[in-house]
Amino acid sequence: MNPNLSDPKVIAELGEKIYADRYRTEYEANYRGQFVVIDVETGKAYRGQSPEEAYAVARQDVSHGTFHLIKIGEPGAYRVSYSANARVDWVFR
């Protein structure tokens, strides 16, 4: 697999897949409600009580990673009340 890491949709889908394959079972049993960032280039996961803490832990290990943020046990890291389901794969094209 040679993912196009300039496409946000590809990064997000890859991050979700890595999380589901390697971490979901353990993390949802033990760390529900915490946040995890997945480095989609290495497959490593970094946890924190908040998104900022998870990112800080990740940046200590990888200075130039490509990260996908997940809230453990939830379908999304954030809930929004306003947003349309907009395309996000145009940003770098």
Q: Which residues bind other proteins (CB under 8 A)?
A: 8-9, 11-13, 15-16, 37, 40, 50-52, 55, 65-70, 74-88, 90-91
Name the residue nearer to other proteins (CB basis): 23 or 65: 65
- Least distance CB 6 / other proteins (angstroms): 11
Q: Residue 15 in contact with residue 38, Cβ under 8 Å? A: yes
Cα–chain center distance at 21: 13
Are residues 91 and 83 in contact, defined by beta-carbon separation less than 8 angstroms?
no
Residue 93 Cβ vs other proteins, minimum distance, rounded to whole Å: 12
Cβ proximity to other proteins: between 61 and 74 the closer is 74
Residue closer to other proteins by CB (options 29, 91) is 91
Query: What minimum distance in Å lies between the beta carbon of 26 and other proteins?
Result: 19
Q: Residues 6 or more apart from 25 whose CB is under 8 A from it? A: none
Cβ-proximal residues to 42 (8 Å cutoff; 6+ apart), any chain = 62, 65
